[in-house]
Amino acid sequence: MTEQNDGTETQDDGTYEFPEGIHPDLRLLISLANGEKMSMNSPVTVWVKGVQFSGLVVAAKEARIWFIKTWTDGLRNAAIGKAEGMTAEAKVAALEGIRGAVDDTGTHLLEQEEKAPHPKRFGFLSLKNARVWTIGSREPTRLEMVRIRLDQIDAFTLGEPS
C-alpha cells in the first residue's frame, strides 16, 4: 500500500483508495460491492461508538441513486403538502409546475450519476435494508439505506445478527 498526501492509502493493485487505517477485509467487501464488472452485496455488521449497524453492503453508486430518488420524492411530497389550502385550479397549476421542476432535476441528476465514472475512492460504507441497534434498545430501527464514514467504524464482522 502506498500513502497519499491527503491521508489515504491505495490498495496494492492501485484500483481503489480508502482512508488510512481501514481493515483489509472491510476494504475487500467495499471493493466487491463496487466492482465494475460484477458487484456482490455481502451482509456485514459494524459498530460505531456503541451503535450497531447491520445490512447489505451496496455500491456507492447505488446508494447515491437511492438518495437522489428519495430527495426528489421528498420534494414532490412537500409540494403536495404546501398545496393543501389552495383552490383546485391553483393547486393543479402549482403542483404541475413543481412536479415538472422536481422531475427534471431528478432526471438530470440520475442521468449525471449514470454517466459518472465508477468511483475509485471510498470514504463511506453504504448499507441497504439496514438495522440499527442503539444502547438499550429492544428492537432495531429499520432503515432502507444508511451511509457510515469508514474512519468512524470501531469494529465489524461478516454477517448479520439473527
Relative to beta strand 51-57, strand 43-48 is: antiparallel
Is 2 a residue whose pLDDT tops 50? no
CATH number at residue 45: 2.30.30.100
Clarify whether residues 152 and 130 are in a common domain.
yes
Which has the closest alpha carbon to 41: 122, 153, 152, 160? 160
Q: What grid cell was written down for 104?
A: 427534471
The model's pLDDT over 125-135, given as tens digits with 9 standing for 90+, comes to 999 999 999 98
Rg (CA), the chain: 20
Is 4 a residue whose pLDDT tops 60? no
Clarify whether residues 102 and 23 are in a common domain.
no
Clarify whether residues 68 and 94 are in a common domain.
yes
36 contacts 117 by C-beta, under 8 angstroms: no
Could you identify the residue written with the cell 441497504?
A: 128
Q: Which domain holds residue 105?
A: 63-115
Clarify whether residues 37 and 111 are in a common domain.
no
Task: Give the Cα separation of 26 and 34 in Å (integer).
Answer: 12
**How many CB atoms neighbour CB 17 within 10 A?**
19
In the chain, how many domains are there?
A: 2
The model's pLDDT over 63-92, given as tens digits with 9 standing for 90+, comes to 888 887 887 777 767 666 666 666 767 766
| Most confident listed range (6-15, 29-38, 39-48, 67-76) | 39-48
